[in-house]
Amino acid sequence: MQKISFPILILLSAIAVAVTFLFSLSMGNAAISVTQAVKDLLGHTESLQQTVVWEIRLPRVLLAVLVGATLGVAGAAMQGFLRNPLAEPGILGVSSGAALGAVIVLYFGLSAAAWYWLPFASILGALIALILVYLLAGFRSSVLSLILAGVAIQASALALISVALNFAPSLFAMQEIVFWLMGSLANRNINHVYVAAPFIIVGWILLFSRYRYLNALSLGEETAASLGFNPQRERNLLLTGLALCIGASVAVSGSIGFVGLVVPHLLRPLVGYHPGRLLIASAFGGALLVLGADILVRQLDIARELKLGVVTSLLGGPFFLMLILKTRSRWI
Amino acid sequence: MQLLNAKNLSLSLGNKKVVDELNIHISSNEFVGLIGPNGAGKSSLLRMLAGLVKPNSGDVNVAAQDGLVPIEKIPAQTRARFMAYLAQHETPAWPLSVKNLVALGRSPWNSAVNTSADDDLAITNALSMTGVTALAERTVTELSGGELQRALLARVFAGNPTLIVADEPIVALDVYHQLHIMELLHAHAQQGGAVIAALHDLSLASRFCSRLILMNHGKLIAEGEPINVLTPENLAQVYGISAHVDCRDDGVVIIPIKRIANE
């Protein structure tokens, strides 16, 4: 069942992420040496290499890692929390809330006024969505009513996004919204990293700190409670962490689908179906997948950039279908 | 020594009173069988005793270092070290290995991610006690009902609890495995611990339990030694059946004959 030991799996994943990270950093239209860029940075020399690598490529690659890892961890956390391998990070309406926040900013053209409006509105949207889910479901609610409330919030947010598209002030605004919703890491700068990273890292800490609870939850909420966990407290920390890191990810990348669903699903057998370990493995897996998809997007030499979210969905959809067909016998 | 003492416990679900002014106490070395028809309130009572559901009124006190303490005053982790709860139809959400499943029983003890030598020892002991050592690397989805129940009981034992609260631990098992689980629970009580278990098999309950509590409609109907609780009169009143009751040295044999009341 478990062919490789967990530390080795994590070591290999970390190496793979590091290699892909460096490869992505050295890749681009301009033939530029990364080693030269590092030398110039350390030597405080202004050079073309330094500018391209540190100001254009690095933010994008860093965001790919942050967003990818977040989607992986959040997917693993949600699947563990809901005890369902088909759960994805957006199931409680958090991603749609974040997307709605961003769309409102784009609709009113506030993103032109100052770049930081969009990420902040997005994170705020995610948190508001979570609060609404809690208010709808009640603070001492069952998991099922949380999901129902999440679906309701998600549907409402998507409806409001459609309203914004319907009444978009101009074709340009509409295009901006649609492209943003598709999910991309193009044209991001280091400020995006600075805005998103603190929220993402706090979110990760909250999710990773629920390692033991997610394990105990394998046996159900009641048994987990009998094993010395306070389900209410654990849930609050877990969902707050989710809203923070997913909100911040959506804020800087738009909606990137399927990563949070496919990555934990794929890695689960490799960690012996251990929900806690899956969190860690999925962080690396998600980072690797988004880094790879972003490399693919940049490789394609076409007039209009293919959006990252489109690529992950194109890869993820059929792949997930295949997984379902393969494991169908277990569920039916 | 008294391990648990609950007074005037009441619980309503919706408009229905499922547990009604019930008093219960459990001391060490006791194996208490909780019996009664479906819907008598057994599961709700056990959940309250395990601290998983707060009673609407009344209180549950459990043994701590300085005597009996209200259960809600005890930190959840301390409570989990003292008592374990085995839910009815507990099924793991993921195809974990038996060893990983049993390791979950150590949750109240390990504070960090890593497991200590104590954890390893407790897991090994629990596996061998319940006879699932050979299955340690198998996934739980491959186990038979009896094997799974033993693995789940190993999970309970791995936490070294003093008091075990089990909700129908032998339901849907064959006679051999029913005996096996009952023997393990009995042995736990013999070694200074205590067990309270909801049971439907009255003969097995009488064979292993030191005391039976008979419940109906949330109320305590009878309590005491099995032969004094499992009387034809009590069975007629609570279960609505006439039964042949044969008291023997090693338990009570009950042969249900017919229903005497229509529900």
Q: For tokens 């005996």, what's the residue?
A: B179
- CA of A327, closest CA in chain B: separation in Å? 13
Quick one: which H or E segment has residue B153? Answer: helix B145-158
Biggest CA pair distance of chain A: 63
Contact: B52, A218; criterion CB under 8 Å: no
Closest partner residue to B96 (CB to CB) among A218, A229, A330 is A218
pLDDT at A45: 74
User: pLDDT per residue over A117-171, tens digit each?
Assistant: 899 999 999 999 999 999 998 877 788 899 999 999 999 999 999 999 999 888 9
| B155 vs A: CB within 8 A | yes
- CA of A107, closest CA in chain B: separation in Å? 43
| B104 vs A: CB within 8 A | yes
- Are B230 and B206 within 8 A, CB to CB? yes
pLDDT at A30: 66
User: pLDDT per residue over A222-235, tens digit each?
Assistant: 999 999 999 889 99
Given a cut of 70, is residue A3 above it in pLDDT?
A: no
- Are B145 and B129 within 8 A, CB to CB? no
Q: Average the pLDDT over A32-52 and give the result.
A: 74
Closest residue in chain A to residue B161, using alpha carbons only: A227
Contact: B87, A225; criterion CB under 8 Å: no
pLDDT at B251: 81
User: pLDDT per residue over B50-98, tens digit each?
Assistant: 999 999 999 999 998 888 999 999 999 999 999 999 998 888 999 999 9
- CA of A228, closest CA in chain B: separation in Å? 4
User: pLDDT per residue over A171-221, tens digit each?
Assistant: 988 988 998 899 989 888 888 999 999 999 999 999 999 999 999 999 999
Q: Cα separation of A99 and B64, whole Å?
A: 51
Contact: B52, A222; criterion CB under 8 Å: yes
What is the value of pTM for the model shown? 0.91
- CA of A268, closest CA in chain B: separation in Å? 9
Contact: A83, B90; criterion CB under 8 Å: no
Q: Cα separation of B156 and B146, whole Å?
A: 15
| B115 vs A: CB within 8 A | no
Pairing of strands B31-35, B211-216: parallel
- CA of A286, closest CA in chain B: separation in Å? 21
Residue A65 exposed, middle or buried by CB count within 10 Å (0-12, 13-18, 19+): buried
Contact: A226, B80; criterion CB under 8 Å: yes
Determine what percent of chain B is predicted with pLDDT higher than 90. 83
Reported confidence tier of residue A248, pLDDT bands at 50, 70, 90: very high
pLDDT at A332: 47
Three-class secondary structure of residue B9 per DSSP = strand
Q: With the CA atoms of B235, B237, B241 and B244 taken in that order, what torsion angle do they form, in degrees rounded to the nearest 10?
A: 40
Reported confidence tier of residue A305, pLDDT bands at 50, 70, 90: confident
CB atoms within 10 A of CB A49: 19
Please give the interface size between A and B, counted as residue pairs whose CB atoms are below 8 Å apart. Answer: 82
Q: Write down the mean pLDDT value for chain A.
A: 89
Encoded tokens for A7: 């530390």
- CA of A265, closest CA in chain B: separation in Å? 12
Q: Cα separation of B254 and B233, whole Å?
A: 13
Q: Average the pLDDT over B185-205 and give the result.
A: 95
Q: Cα separation of B125 and B147, whole Å?
A: 16
Contact: A227, B80; criterion CB under 8 Å: yes
Q: Write down the mean pLDDT value for chain B.
A: 92
Packing angle of the helix pair A94-107, A117-137 (nearest 10 deg): 140
Predicted ipTM of the assembly: 0.91
- The torsion angles phi and psi of A199, rounded to 5 degrees, stand at -65, -45
- CA of B107, closest CA in chain A: separation in Å? 6
Given a cut of 60, is residue A300 above it in pLDDT?
A: yes
Mutate to test the interface with A, among B53, B104, B141, B142 (most CBs of A within 10 A): B104
Closest partner residue to B92 (CB to CB) among A212, A219, A330 is A219
- Are B188 and B202 within 8 A, CB to CB? no
Encoded tokens for B147: 């094997």
Closest residue in chain B to residue A277, using alpha carbons only: B113
Q: Chain A interface residues facing chain B, Cβ-Cβ under 8 Å?
A: 1-2, 83-84, 211-212, 215-220, 222-223, 225-230, 268, 272-276, 330
User: pLDDT per residue over B94-153, tens digit each?
Assistant: 999 999 999 999 999 876 556 688 889 999 999 999 999 999 999 999 999 999 999 999
Strands, sheet with B31-35, edge to edge from the N-terminal-most edge strand: B83-86, B163-167, B194-198, B31-35, B211-216, B219-224
Q: Cα separation of A281 and B12, whole Å?
A: 44
Chain B residues within 8 A of A225 when measuring between CB atoms: 52, 76
Contact: B96, A216; criterion CB under 8 Å: no
Chain A residues within 8 A of B87 when measuring between CB atoms: 219-220, 222-223, 226
Given a cut of 60, is residue A100 above it in pLDDT?
A: yes
Given a cut of 70, is residue A1 above it in pLDDT?
A: no
Given a cut of 90, is residue A44 above it in pLDDT?
A: no
Q: Cα separation of A192 and A116, whole Å?
A: 8
Q: Cα separation of B136 and B100, whole Å?
A: 8
Q: Cα separation of B161 and B149, whole Å?
A: 17
